[in-house]
Amino acid sequence: QLQVAESGGGLVQAGGSLRLSCTVSGLTFDDYVMGWFRQAPGKEREGVACIDWNGGYKNYLESVKGRITISRDNAKKTLYLQMNSLKPEDTAIYYCAAAACGPGTVQALDLMKGYWGQGTQVTVSS
């Protein structure tokens, strides 16, 4: 059974940094493109970043480019999101998921339905 577990969130001041991690089981991790998503209060979930199987292709939401870096360790079945220069508008619950990734798009795969993790809360104070 597919399971994902996100961690690493917290409360930081604007300009601070956090590194999120996501471990995945029940799925052949290195067969899948992976992505990070976030959902702020009262807003739809949006794709933040995605990465292909070996890290050779990455795509980012325009508003986070230059501040956030996605990476993966296939041996550890772990996805990472390094977030620097954080802004209050980055405040959200962050989730990871198997994804489709292309220019201007980060979409969760249908197989994630019913299997989203709890997410990890990121709060950035001004």
Please write the tens of the pLDDT for every residue from 66-124.
Answer: 999 999 999 999 999 999 999 999 999 999 999 999 888 899 998 898 899 999 999 99
- pLDDT at residue number 114: 87
Pairing of strands 120-125, 92-102: antiparallel
- pLDDT at residue number 103: 87
- pLDDT at residue number 24: 95
* Contact assessment for residue 79 and residue 96, using Cβ atoms and an 8 Å cutoff: yes
Q: Which of 72, 85, 12, 86 is closest to 36 using CA atoms?
A: 72
3-state secondary structure of 89: helix
